[in-house]
Chains A and B, each alone.
Chain A
Amino acid sequence: MNYRILKKKDLDEFIKKLSRKMKVVAPVDKGYNQFAFEEVSSAERIALQYIPTILPPKKYFMPQKEKILDFDISEKVPEDRAVIEYDKIAIFGIHTCDLAGIQCLNMVFNERPRDYNYLTRKDHIFSVGLECNDYCDGYASCALVNSHLPNGGYDLFLTDLGDRFICHVNTQQGADMADFTGLFQNASPRDLSDLDSLRETKRKIFKNEVDVDARQLPGLFEKAMESPVWSQVGAKCVSCGNCTNVCPTCYCFDMFDQINLDMKTGSRFRVWDSCQLEPFAKVAGGENFREERLERQRHRFYRKFKYPIEKYYRFFCTGCGRCTRTCMAKISLKETLNALAKESL
């Protein structure tokens, strides 16, 4: 295994060297216990201890608004050009839940027909993970879905060992970058045993946060379509769409055209959409296939715990807790799963 050591005092130098190569973004403290990924040029603003950011790093892979196509209709036969706008970015400090989220999105957009806008952008992102040594807060359920430990999806992965980070080098690009900075030493047997004991401690701290085993969840949802739990959740929901916007694996989108002032050229854009909004499943004829809030909330849970199992063999919940943390109506993912589990007994 390729482990190296980065001294904590060298972190600032690391970020500075990284930002010479590309734009660097990292979690920054926004006050009121809120954090956000933002561009940084030194380690000074980086919050090494942070609870999941308001928006997950998916915003760099799939921006809220992105240009997909340019067109020109000045001639009889219209012309179009599929385009991508991107930056070379390094994302520093991605927690394991968000790494899992990016892995989910990678699968979705790599599925044929492929989405080359997403895939091109992904190929230009360098990712540096950062381990959570303890729970961020009580909303997380990462142990349920086993995303409290690193399962790939990064170039470099840092674990805080007090005065130093132990760094797992996962890719050649990661190794090249570590070499370029000249700040990494090989890890000693003592460093590795420190990492082992940290992980051992984590196994004691992180325990399945809900009253149901993850393996039983797909079966639970197989029978949960008619559950009264959805009426309770639907009664609380205010249909704001916050839960899906902050979710690291929600990727539903809408497309729209924008014509320029010359009335001859324009573009097609992709923007985030939310299955929680009332018109999401409505057709022009007037029928709304998910008219009720309970139907839309049920749909959200099925898209995390049931549908992706069939298609991608994994949950599309990474346990980050953002949906619960952000919900104005206090709809809790953990409580909802517990209620479903209780009902199935």
Chain B
Amino acid sequence: MKEEIINSNWKLRKGEIIAVKQMTPTERWFDIKLDDGELDHEPGQFVQVELFGIGEVPISICSSPTRKGSFELCVRAAGRVTNEMHKLGKGDYVGIRGPFGKPFPVKVMVGNDLLFVAGGLGVAPLRSLINYVMDNRKEFGKVDILLGCRTPQDMLFGDEIPKWQKRLDVNFNCTVDRGAPDWTGNVGLITTLIPGVTIIPDRTFAVVVGPPIMYKFVINELLNKDLPERQIILSLERHMKCGMGKCGHCQIDHPKNYYCCKDGPTFSYEEVKESKKL
């Protein structure tokens, strides 16, 4: 027998790509509008993007929910589906499931100083929170943003970063691993920027998003500044295949039962410090 399941959680919402931009040779930005209304996400969540006939891929949402009407994704061409997705343009449709995942603990962070640390593509999920904070700026204390990437050409959201830089209510700093002839900024790992930030440990939340290798070093710097483990917030990368805490792919190697898609992707360092890999 074959029947339709009306309330299936596998059913896809239809999203029209209303704008695209090739940010770097490997990263492409998409603005997507759902046919059935708002995505209704929170900063730090992700969606499953379906390319019909090709497959599905989990992508973190890089726009703030305070900006209505559509949502944005920054996609690196890394695997089979994302390489195909890079071929899509304005007017093309994708399937969307979600939003999924535990968002950044915005309510808990209200009233505190915030330190954002993003490495590489980590700026994408963090941007949803940064712009949320910008749009609710008076709810928070001092805001520091530290960005790091390989070379100046790899810098994502290049047109938006000057806006963060110019704001008087934000301290912005960035660094590249390798400079370029026209680069006048910092050269060095992102960890070198942390000593320059004033941190009041009992009223600061650090939100750190980057590749696994970055976490260890950045977290050590933050702990050296006496920042409590529960005030270090991370967003972990895993391959979430279902987004519903079932398929098993994103489960974390930890004595506790953590699915990255449901219990994360945002965790405090205190929660996941026993993980074999961050």
Contacts and interface: CB of A to CB of B under 8 A. Distances in A.
Q: Interface of chain B, helix or strand or loop or mixed?
A: loop
Interface stretch (B128-136, B198-206, B246-254): B246-254
A115 interface: yes
Contacts of B256: 307, 310
B10 A268 contact: yes
B64 interface: no
B223 interface: no
Contacts of B274: 225
B159 interface: no
Interface in A244-279: 251-259, 263, 266, 268, 273, 275
A77 B35 contact: yes
A251 B246 contact: yes
Contacts of B2: 83-85
A222 interface: yes
A255 B56 contact: yes
B8 A117 contact: yes
Contacts of B251: 275, 281, 299, 303, 307
B131 to A, nearest CB: 24
B51 to A, nearest CB: 8
A78 B239 contact: no
B53 A257 contact: yes
Given A77-B93, A83-B3, A256 B249 contact: no
B245 interface: yes
B55 interface: yes
B212 interface: yes
Interface in A35-94: 68-69, 71, 73, 76-78, 80-88
Contacts of A295: 253, 276
Interface string B38-50: 0000000000001
A225 B255 CA distance: 7
Contact of A222 (B4, B237, B255): B255
Contact of A273 (B14, B54, B247, B252): B247
A284 B239 contact: yes
A258 B93 CA distance: 18
B68 to A, nearest CB: 22
Contacts of A115: 9, 244, 246
Contacts of A273: 247-249
A310 B245 CA distance: 14
A114 interface: yes
B4 A83 contact: yes
Contacts of A81: 4
B253 A290 contact: yes
Given A256-B55, A287-B237, A82 B248 contact: no
A203 interface: no
B9 A285 contact: no
Contacts of A120: 3, 5
Given A71-B52, A273-B248, 10 more contacts: A77-B14, A85-B1, A108-B246, A115-B9, A116-B5, A255-B56, A258-B53, A275-B248, A298-B253, A308-B257
For the complex of A and B, list the 5 residue pairs with the smallest distance between their C-beta atoms, beginning with the closest: A82-B8, A252-B248, A284-B79, A284-B78, A307-B257
Interface of B: 1-12, 14, 16, 35, 50-57, 76, 78-79, 82, 91, 93, 95, 211-212, 237-239, 241-242, 244-253, 255-257, 274, 276-277
23 contacts: A69-B12, A76-B91, A77-B35, A82-B4, A83-B5, A84-B2, A113-B244, A115-B244, A225-B276, A252-B248, A254-B247, A255-B241, A255-B242, A257-B53, A275-B251, A281-B238, A281-B250, A285-B211, A287-B212, A289-B238, A289-B253, A295-B276, A302-B255
